[in-house]
């Protein structure tokens, strides 16, 4: 009797061991499949979701929006703000005072370059373009204003690429959106009965054809209003073209509004020549026979070729360390169970 019970106990133990190991193997295979099938994180892919709202990636533009917040109080480029909250000013390196000082006449002339979406840019897509605004005798004393020239890209030619917040609104600011959008010259010390003159803007250079002159926005004497759309507010030169100061109204501003008009494809690219005729659009291969989906050079230009046929996303279960010994233990338990059943 004792021998029979022992055999039964062993058979029961072998059966339990087999069932338990089968469950472990099944769970392991499921886990292996989940890990192997999960795509690896792509640190190079960024759709802009993690970026500030003002810096979201854009489609259908030849140049991304340039985002730079205005200087806050205490910053070296913060200048002053009115006690009554009517205006705020930031330091501009192209700001000069007339010597001799002839009066309280002051103002600025700016150029704003917008992309196809209407957002400010610094001209990185038009590096061979220069904008010239003649000013004549009225500002000949100003080193940067006879004429006023703007060379693109601004980031490579000026200490402050953008130095003014001419457009937009922000509840916490008396003027502007809180982001710089224009490149300007400023001037002070002119007679209050004097006249500021400027001519039509000239766009020159190889990339000039990619910039459209939208128009001019001018406001003499009174506080500049930033709550306007520059594309809608811009007027022909004949309706601007200069202003005359008068007593107690000595500040004037004018903005030349430009907009990129590059060759932008429907897919959002800038339409530049990529070295092919477009017949391989949508392929994962570049012009040098490199499979861009894996980053490996296949040498023959065939789609889908890689140097290693096994990738982390398609690894087989038997490539996982410890999988082979686990299967061997299950086989041994199965043999023991079969022997007990047969005996």
Closest CA to 180 of 198, 207, 154, 141: 154
Q: What is the DSSP letter of 313?
A: G
The angle formed by the CA atoms of residues 42, 48 and 53, to the nearest 5 degrees, is 155
Closest CA to 178 of 166, 193, 192: 166
pTM confidence score? 0.63
Torsion, Cα 18 19 21 23, to 10 degrees, reads 160
Closest CA to 251 of 192, 302, 338: 192
Q: What is the pLDDT of residue 247?
A: 81
Beta strand spans in the chain (E): 78-81, 88-90, 95-97, 105-114, 130-133, 148-151, 183-190, 195-197, 202-204, 211-221, 242-244, 251-260, 290-291, 296-297
**Beta-bridge partner residues of 260:** 211
Residue 21 C-alpha from the chain's centroid = 54
Q: How far apart are CA 106 and CA 87, in angstroms?
A: 15
Q: What are 208-254's pLDDT values in tens digits?
A: 999 999 999 999 888 899 999 999 999 999 999 899 988 878 899 99
Q: What are 4-42's pLDDT values in tens digits?
A: 445 555 555 555 545 555 555 455 544 444 444 544 444
Q: How far apart are CA 114 and CA 92, in angstroms?
A: 20
Q: What is the pLDDT of residue 46?
A: 43
Q: Which residue numbers in the chain have pLDDT < 50?
A: 1-5, 17, 25, 29-36, 38-55, 268-317, 320, 341
Q: How far apart are CA 190 and CA 47, in angstroms?
A: 50
């Amino acid at each position: 009797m004792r021998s029979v019970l022992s055999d039964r106990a062993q058979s029961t133990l072998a059966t339990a061991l087999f069932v338990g190991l089968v469950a472990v193997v099944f769970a392991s295979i499921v886990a292996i499949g989940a890990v192997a099938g999960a795509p690896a994180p792509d640190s190079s892919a960024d759709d802009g979701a993690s970026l500030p709202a003002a810096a979201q990636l854009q489609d259908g533009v030849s140049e991304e929006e340039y985002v730079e917040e205005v200087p806050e109080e205490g910053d070296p480029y913060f200048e002053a703000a009115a006690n009554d909250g009517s205006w705020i000013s930031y330091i501009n390196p192209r700001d000069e005072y007339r010597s001799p000082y002839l009066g309280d006449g002051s103002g600025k002339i700016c150029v704003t370059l917008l992309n196809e979406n209407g957002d400010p840019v610094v001209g990185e897509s038009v590096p061979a373009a220069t904008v010239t605004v003649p000013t004549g005798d009225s500002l000949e004393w100003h080193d940067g204003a006879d004429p006023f020239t703007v060379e693109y890209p601004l980031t490579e030619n000026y200490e402050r690429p953008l130095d003014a917040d001419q457009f937009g609104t922000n509840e916490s600011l008396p003027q502007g959106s809180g982001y710089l959008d224009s490149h300007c010259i400023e001037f002070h010390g002119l007679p209050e009965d004097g006249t500021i003159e400027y001519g039509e803007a000239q766009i020159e250079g190889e990339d000039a054809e990619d910039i459209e002159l939208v128009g001019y926005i001018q406001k003499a004497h009174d506080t500049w209003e930033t709550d306007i759309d520059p594309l809608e507010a811009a007027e022909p030169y004949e309706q601007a073209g200069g202003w005359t100061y008068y007593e107690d109204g000595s500040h004037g501003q004018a903005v030349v509004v430009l907009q990129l008009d590059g060759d932008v494809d429907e897919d959002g690219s800038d339409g530049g020549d990529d070295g092919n005729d477009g017949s391989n659009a949508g392929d994962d291969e570049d012009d040098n026979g490199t499979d861009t989906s894996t980053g490996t050079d296949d040498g023959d230009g065939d789609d889908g070729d890689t140097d290693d046929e096994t990738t982390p996303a398609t690894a087989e279960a038997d490539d996982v360390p410890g999988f082979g010994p686990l299967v061997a233990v299950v086989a041994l338990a199965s043999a023991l169970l079969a022997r007990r059943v047969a005996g």
